[in-house]
């Protein structure tokens, strides 16, 4: 009925050893419908040029690399009601060396410097999944983050609000599928040429996808991305691609 985990996470960098908690407790509140959980976890997050450029492809290649350390306290509820699986969580995260991104306007081709700052992050998030019909499933996640930084005015180019909704429909006994996804994200903060904090446009993205299995080994797929033709800049001066279509073939052996 109750589950308790007690552990630690040991990390090392530059001969500096740290101990982070790995503790959680979960217990039913309403049997079969609602459970509660609390916990604490922490670790060392290794930052590399690849991991930083995966998030922001426009960073400078000569930059200062620092690892991030974090400790996260969290709690919430989860369960299943009328076939809907849900989870609601609130967390408080302490981060040393949170990576932020600031445009270097002195370069001929503007690129981003990586800044590091210590931060406290409060996150409220929820998710739900449900099978509406036998072959139709829907899902959704929503998150709101509140940043408190030690030195920087804003969490440059990091999202505060995000919403993801999706639906998948399977047909022909699983031989084909069709899906739709909707993404929403707030306009990210950045500094303009005068050093004043501004916000980019928000993201509104509707995409469709389909798949058809030609055989047990081969399939074809289609993706139609950004149907709303949202031209927001994910990173300042670097607009995203408008409506685009991808077609491909998959193989599995």
The rounded distance, in Å, linking the Cα atoms of 17 and 93 is: 20
Report the pLDDT value the prediction gives residue 180, as an integer from 0 to 100.
96
**Long-range CB contacts (within 8 A, 24+) of 6-11:** 9/41, 9/42, 9/43, 11/43, 11/44, 11/69
Closest CA to 76 of 34, 114, 118: 34
Flag residues of the chain having pLDDT under 50. Answer: none
pLDDT tens digits, one per residue of 21-75: 999 999 999 987 899 999 999 999 999 999 999 999 999 888 888 999 999 999 9
pLDDT in tens, 89-103: 999 999 999 999 999
Q: Distance from CA of residue 171 to its chain's centroid?
A: 30
CA 229 to chain centre: 22
């Amino acid at each position: 009925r109750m589950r308790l985990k007690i552990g630690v996470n040991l990390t090392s960098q530059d001969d500096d050893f740290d101990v982070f908690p790995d503790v959680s407790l979960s217990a039913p509140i309403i049997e079969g419908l609602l459970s509660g959980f609390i916990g604490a976890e922490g670790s060392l997050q290794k930052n590399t040029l690849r991991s930083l450029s995966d998030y922001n492809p426009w960073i400078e290649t000569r930059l200062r690399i620092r690892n991030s350390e974090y400790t996260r306290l969290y709690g919430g509820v989860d369960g299943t009601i009328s076939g809907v699986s849900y989870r609601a969580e609130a967390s408080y995260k302490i981060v040393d060396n949170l990576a932020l991104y600031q445009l270097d306007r002195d370069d001929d081709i503007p690129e981003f410097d990586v800044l590091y700052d210590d931060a406290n992050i409060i996150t409220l998030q929820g998710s739900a999944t449900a099978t509406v019909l036998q072959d139709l499933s829907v899902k959704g996640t929503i998150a709101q983050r509140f940043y408190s930084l030690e030195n920087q005015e804003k969490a440059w180019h990091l999202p505060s609000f995000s919403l993801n909704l999706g639906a998948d429909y399977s047909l022909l006994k699983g031989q084909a599928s069709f899906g739709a996804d909707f993404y929403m994200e707030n306009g990210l903060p950045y500094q303009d040429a005068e050093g004043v904090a501004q916000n980019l446009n928000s993201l509104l993205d509707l995409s469709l996808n389909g798949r058809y299995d030609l055989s047990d080994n081969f399939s074809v797929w289609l993706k139609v991305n950004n149907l709303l033709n949202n031209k927001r800049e994910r990173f300042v001066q670097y607009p995203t691609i408008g409506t685009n279509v991808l077609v491909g073939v998959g193989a599995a052996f």
